[in-house]
Structure 1
Amino acid sequence: MAHAQLLISYGQAFVAPERRQHRSSMSVRLPEAPLLKVKGGCAVISDSISRNTMAKQAGDLSVRGFLADYYSTPEHWDTKTSATRVLRALNSWCYSQSQHVKEGGFVSSLSAMVFLGREGHLFHMGDTLVFRLRGAEFEQLTRDHVTDVGGYRYPSRALGMDGSVDIDYTHLALKQGDLFVFTTQAVRGTLMPSDYVRLIRQDASDLDAACERLASEAKQRAQERGYGGDQFCFQLLRIDELPEEETDHPGMLYGDLPIPPELAPGERLDGLEVQAVLSRNAQSRVYRVRDVHSDRVMVMKAPSPELSLRNAYLEHFLLQQWVVERVNSPFVVKVMEPSRPRRYLYYLMQNVEGETLRQWAERHPQASLVQRLDIANQLGKAVQALHHRDIIHQQVMPDNVLIDQHGKVVLADFSACHMREVDGHRHSGELLRQIGFNEHTAPEYALGDSVGRRSDQYSLASTVYWLLTGELPYTLTPNKLRCHTDLEELSYRSARTTNPEITPALDEALRRALDPQRPLRFRRMSEFLHALRIPLGRMPQREEPRTESRRFWQGVAGILLLLLVLSWLLR
C-alpha cells in the first residue's frame, strides 16, 4: 500500500507600502514528490531594518538564495547539515558583498523552516517571528535577537551582519492540523496571541484570507497608536496530512550508501561501464566510465574501499560534489548528474579529453612565454572562480590541472577543497595534512598557521613559476618546513636566472605572491592575475613598433646618402 505523503497548505499577505518599498520578503516551496520526500517543503521569511537603503535587495536575495541552494545540496546530507551549510555560505557572501556598498548592506533577519516527513526543522537569525498554533495553544518558536541603540531596536545575529553567524536551530515533531505563522518584528505591539487565534479561526479554510485579516488588523492597530502601518506581512502554513511512520529516514545519510568495490576495466556499476582506471591513491579511486544507456563518457570518483570506517573523510567526500556544483566556470570541471539513482557512494564529472599540465610541459619544452602565460591566466581564473564562492582549493599543482586539445585549462581535482570560514581555517589545514602536502603547498600548512585565499595564491604562483622555468622558487620546499625559524632558509630564486624572457616586473610579481609570510603576498588574487596579463598584452606590441621604426630611419638614412652622392657627382 502506498504511503501517504506530506500535504501542506499556505497563504500570504502583504500590506502595500505607501511611501517606500517593502523591506521584507517571504516564500514557500513545495517540490514534487521525489524531492519532497528527500528534502521536504520549505517556508522562509526575511526582514531588514528601515534605515538600510538596500533593505529590499537584502530580503529578496536571502530568501531566493536559501531556497535555491538548499534544494541543490546532496541528497545524502541531513536537513540540519544542508540548511546550516547553505546559511553560512550565504552569510559569508552577503557579508563580503556589503563591504563594497557605501550605504546600507546585504543584512537581514531570516527564519526558515523545513517540513520533512513528520518533523519540522527551524533555522533562525535576527528578529523575524515564527509562531505555532496547535489547537488553542499559541506559541512563539523563535527568539528575538535585538539590540537597543538610541531608542531604536536593531536586529543582532542577522544574516550578513558579520563574517560568521550563530544560527538558532529547533527540531520539533509535527501534528496534523498544526498552523505556523511567519511574520516580522513590525507586528510587535499590534496583535495579541488571542487576536491571532481569533482571526485565523474565523475561517481557517482560506489561509490567504486569514493572512489578509491579520495584516488589516495589524495595520489598523498601528495607525491607532500613531505609527506607520505599511510594513506588515504574514505567511500561514497548515499541515494537512503527514506521511506514515517510516523506519528509514527519507534523506539518505552518507553511511547509507556503500563504498564501491575495487573496479577494473569492463566491470559495471549502476549502469556505468569502467573504461579505464585513471587514479588510485589512499583516499580515492578515479575511473573513466561510459553510461551504457546514454553512451555518455564521464569520470567517476569514489572513496577508496579501505576508507569505509573513516567517516570524517567520507563527509568531506560528499562536500566535494556540492562545492563543484556551486561553481560555474569554463575553467572548472563540471559535475554530471547520473541517469539513474545511485546505489553506491561516488560522483560523476565531465570527461576532459586532454593531459595534465605536467605532461603538457614535458611534450612542449619549446613553448613560448606567451603560451605559458596564457595557461597561467586560465588557471588563475579557475582559482578565482572558486574564491568567488568562498571555496579554498588547497591543492593547486600541475597534476591537478588538465589541458584539452584546444589549449583550454580545466581545474579538475577537489580532494582538499574547503568552504572558506573566518575562524582562521585551521581545520582545513588539517584536512590537507591528512591528504598530504606537495612541493607547491604554502608554508603555513606545514607550520600549522592560519590559511586562506592567499595560501591558494602561493600554490598558484608556485605552479606558474614552475611552468615558466621548470624549477621551484626555493631550494627548500615549503612542505618540508618544521618550525618558523626554517622560514629564513626560504630565499627566493629569481625566475629570470632560468628564463631571461621573464620581465623584471613579472619576476617581482612572482616573488611577492611567493612570499613565505602570508600577509605580505598580494591582498587580492586579481592583483596577481593583472601582473600575469601585462606581459601578454605588451610584449608583441612593444617589438613591432621598434622594428617598423628601425626600418623607417634606415630608409631615411639611405635616401640622404643617395642625395649626398648625387650632389658630389653633379659638381
Structure 2
Amino acid sequence: MQLGELRVSYGQSYLAQDRRSARSSMAVCHPRDSQLAIKGVAGIIADSTWRNALAKQAGETCVRGFMADYFATPDNWDTKTSANKVLSALNSWLYAQSRSVSNGSYISSLSTLIIKGRQGHLFHMGDTLVYRLRGAEFQQLNREHTTYMGGYRYPSRALGMDPSVDIDYLNFKVKQGDIFLFTTQAVKGTLMPSDFVQLIREFPEDLNQACDVILKKAMEKASKRGYSSYNFCFQLMRVDQVTHEANDNLGVAYSNLPVPEELQAGDELDGYRVEEVLSRSATSRIYRVYDPQTARSLVLKAPSPQLALKKEFIAHFIMQQWVADRVSSPYVAKVVDLSRPRTQLYYLMEFIQGRTLDTWLRENPDADLKVRLDLIEQLTKAVRAMHRREVIHQHLTPQNILVDPQGVIKLVDFAACGVAGMKDLPPLLTLARRVGLTPYSAPEYRLGRDPGERADQFSIAALAFEILTGQRPYEGQLENLNSKVDFSRLEYVPAFQLESSLPVWMDAALRKALQPNPELRYRRLSEFIYDLKKPNPEYLTDQETSGGSDQLLAFWKGLAGLLLLLLLLSLFY
C-alpha cells in the first residue's frame, strides 16, 4: 500500500447448522492500485428468510453477483450510479428466477458498504444490519424493512421480491479508525450495543478473533434466552488509513484521460511496447503490444484520435470494456485488467493467435462437415453467453471471429455491443448503424425496428450458411431493401442446392433462423443448434409437402417409376 491510499482490515465469523442450511453470505473485496481509487473497498452481507428452501442460493447469488458486477462497471460511473444499476439488474434477475421455481425463492435482504476515497456509501434493502463504531459511539446506520405475518417477522423489502426495488442510500464521510459491523436479523435480542463495543475493543489487532468472540457470546446469550443460534453471522471492517486529500479525484480520472495519438510499431504506452498495428478504423485503433512485466502479448484498443472531443463516443468506448467484462465464455475474448494506473484512454484484451473466420474458410475449403458444425456450435455458445448477460452483439461477421490453431473460436470485437434498455448507452439500433450494417445484419436493422436477441440469431444463421455452403444467404439482396414489401420478395436459395452433401433437414433449420420476420425465427438459440445437428421431423415434413426439395422429388419419381415397371412386369408374366 502506498502512503495516502485507502487501507481497510476485516474479519468474519459465521455459524450454520450445516452447509446446506446456511442462508447468510458475506464478503469484502479490497482491490489494489487503480481499481482501489476508482471503485473503492466493498463489504456486503445478504440474508434470506429461514423458511426458504433456496435461502443458501439466494444469499450467495446476491453477494457474488454484486461483487462481480460492481467492480466491472464502467470507470466513468460514480459509486451511486454503479451500485444502483447493479442492484437493479440483480433484482430483476432474482425476481425472474423466483417466478420460475416452485420450491423456495431467490428473495434476500442485502446491505453493502462501499468506501471510496474518504466517503462511505451504504446501500440497503431488507432486515440485515450495519453498525458503525466511532470512538465510544455505536450507531445503527440502516433502517430495517420488516413486517409481521402469522407471528413471524419477514423483510418487507428485499432483492428479488418485486420487479423493481427501492434501495436505501446513505452517504457519509469516513474517518481513520471507523469500524463497521455487518450482521443479520437473527442476532437481534442477544447482545447489547455495549457488548459489541467491549468485545470489539478487546481484539483491536485481530478482527477475525473479535468476530469469533462476538459469535460465542451471542450464542451463549441466545441459549440462555431460548433463542436459536443457528445462522449467526458477523463481519467487521475497519478503516486503517483514509485516502489523502490530494487523491480524492483519482476515482474519476479515467473518464478524463486523453485519447492516445497514433502509435507505430516500437512506440510505448504505460510500459506496453507496440509490436504491430492490427486495425485503424473510423472509431478505434487496435494494437498488438508486449508487456515486459508479465512477458505476454496483449491487444490494446483505444478510441480513434479524431473522436477525442466527442464525449458520446468516448462514453461508449468506456462502456465497451464493461460490456465485454460482463461476459464469461471460453469463446469470447477476455478483457485483461492488470490493475495499473493508466495515463491515457484504452483497455486491454487477451491476444489470440489465430486466423479470422473468412481466412480459415478460404484455407480449408474441404473441411469436414463435423468440423464446420463445431465452429457454428462454438459461435452459438459464445453469443448465448452474451445473451445470458443481456448483451446483444449486433456485429457478427467473419472478420470479428478468430479461429485458433486448435479450432477454437473467439469473438473479438464489441464495438456495436449493447444492453437493451440501458439509458447510459445509445439505443441498440443506433450502435449498430454507427458501426455499420453488413450482409449478416438482420432485416430489422434496415427497417428501423428495435433489435433483440433474434437479430443475433439471424447473423449466426447467415454465418452458418456461409460456413456450410461457401456462399451467403440472400446473396446481393439484403443491401438495397428498405421496406416490408422489399423483404417479402426475398428469394431464399436452399443450402442443399448450393452444397449437395447437405441434408434437407439441415437447410430447414437454416431457413427458419434466416426468416426476415424475427417472430418466425427460433425462440432460443439452443433450439436452432439442436435442429442443425439432428433432423426435426416437423420441419422435414414441411419441406417434403412444400415440394422444395429437388432431391426428394427425384427420389419419389424414381420410386414411382420402379413400382410402375414392377406392375407391368407382373401383368405381362
Aligned position for 1:566: none
Aligned position for 2:355: 355
Q: Is 343-352 or 156-165 further displaced after alignment? A: 156-165
Aligned position for 1:199: 195
Change (3 A) 1:276 1:221: closer
Tell me the CA shift for residue 284 of structure 1.
Answer: 0.6
Q: Is 28-37 or 356-365 further displaced after alignment? A: 28-37
Aligned position for 2:271: 271
In the alignment, the residues of structure 2 paired with residue 449 and residue 521 of structure 1 have an alpha-carbon distance, to the nearest angstrom, of: 16
Matched-pair contact (CA < 8 Å) for 1:215–1:234 = no
Matched-pair contact (CA < 8 Å) for 1:199–1:210 = no
Change (3 A) 1:328 1:242: closer
Matched-pair contact (CA < 8 Å) for 2:428–2:450 = no
In the alignment, the residues of structure 1 paired with residue 477 and residue 99 of structure 2 have an alpha-carbon distance, to the nearest angstrom, of: 36
In the alignment, the residues of structure 1 paired with residue 121 and residue 57 of structure 2 have an alpha-carbon distance, to the nearest angstrom, of: 26
In the alignment, the residues of structure 2 paired with residue 485 and residue 168 of structure 1 have an alpha-carbon distance, to the nearest angstrom, of: 52
Residue segments in structure 1 that go unaligned for 5+ positions in a row: 536-571
Change (3 A) 1:405 1:62: same
Matched-pair contact (CA < 8 Å) for 1:199–1:214 = no
Change (3 A) 1:198 1:374: closer
Aligned position for 2:170: 170
Aligned position for 2:532: 532
Change (3 A) 1:164 1:439: farther
Instruction: Give the 5 Å matches for 1:152-301.
Output: 154-155=154-155, 158-161=158-161, 165=165, 167-186=167-186, 190=189, 196-202=192-198, 204-206=200-202, 209=210, 216=217, 220=221, 228=228, 230-246=230-246, 248-291=248-291, 296-301=296-301
- For the residue of structure 2 that corresponds to 1:251, the secondary structure is helix
Which letter does structure 2 place at the counterpart of 1:442?
A
Aligned position for 1:109: 109
Structure 1 length-normalised TM: 0.78
Which letter does structure 2 place at the counterpart of 1:507?
D
Which letter does structure 1 place at the counterpart of 2:285?
R
Matched-pair contact (CA < 8 Å) for 1:118–1:174 = yes
Aligned position for 1:402: 402
Instruction: Work out whether 1:376 is the aligned partner of 2:386.
Output: no
Change (3 A) 1:163 1:496: farther
Which letter does structure 2 place at the counterpart of 1:112?
T
Deviations 1:471-490 (A, max 9, x none): 44347866766555655345
In the alignment, the residues of structure 2 paired with residue 33 and residue 287 of structure 1 have an alpha-carbon distance, to the nearest angstrom, of: 24
Matched-pair contact (CA < 8 Å) for 1:390–1:420 = yes
Change (3 A) 1:473 1:147: farther
Tell me the CA shift for residue 221 of structure 1.
Answer: 7.5
In the alignment, the residues of structure 1 paired with residue 530 and residue 127 of structure 2 have an alpha-carbon distance, to the nearest angstrom, of: 43
Which letter does structure 2 place at the counterpart of 1:469?
T
Which letter does structure 2 place at the counterpart of 1:118?
R
Matched-pair contact (CA < 8 Å) for 2:257–2:344 = yes
Which letter does structure 2 place at the counterpart of 1:280?
R
Change (3 A) 1:272 1:513: same
Tell me the CA shift for residue 187 of structure 1.
Answer: 5.0
Change (3 A) 1:27 1:440: same
Matched-pair contact (CA < 8 Å) for 1:442–1:479 = no
Deviations 1:288-336 (A, max 9, x none): 3344676633322111112213333323323333443454433222334
Matched-pair contact (CA < 8 Å) for 1:509–1:531 = yes
In the alignment, the residues of structure 2 paired with residue 173 and residue 286 of structure 1 have an alpha-carbon distance, to the nearest angstrom, of: 41
Matched-pair contact (CA < 8 Å) for 1:391–1:417 = yes
Give the RMSD, CA atoms, in angstroms.
3.9
Instruction: Give the 5 Å matches for 1:546-561.
Output: none
Tell me the CA shift for residue 408 of structure 1.
Answer: 3.3
In the alignment, the residues of structure 2 paired with residue 382 and residue 178 of structure 1 have an alpha-carbon distance, to the nearest angstrom, of: 45
Tell me the CA shift for residue 260 of structure 1.
Answer: 0.8
Aligned position for 2:459: 459
In the alignment, the residues of structure 1 paired with residue 146 and residue 484 of structure 2 have an alpha-carbon distance, to the nearest angstrom, of: 44
Tell me the CA shift for residue 26 of structure 1.
Answer: 2.2
Matched-pair contact (CA < 8 Å) for 1:22–1:56 = yes
Tell me the CA shift for residue 376 of structure 1.
Answer: 1.8
Residue segments in structure 2 that go unaligned for 5+ positions in a row: 204-208, 536-573
In the alignment, the residues of structure 2 paired with residue 49 and residue 451 of structure 1 have an alpha-carbon distance, to the nearest angstrom, of: 39
Matched-pair contact (CA < 8 Å) for 1:327–1:385 = yes
Aligned position for 1:557: none
Aligned position for 1:416: 416
Which letter does structure 2 place at the counterpart of 1:50?
W
Aligned position for 2:571: none
In the alignment, the residues of structure 1 paired with residue 277 and residue 144 of structure 2 have an alpha-carbon distance, to the nearest angstrom, of: 55
Deviations 1:144-188 (A, max 9, x none): 445666665544553344666554443221134544332334456
- For the residue of structure 1 that corresponds to 2:528, the secondary structure is helix
- For the residue of structure 2 that corresponds to 1:523, the secondary structure is coil
- For the residue of structure 1 that corresponds to 2:318, the secondary structure is helix
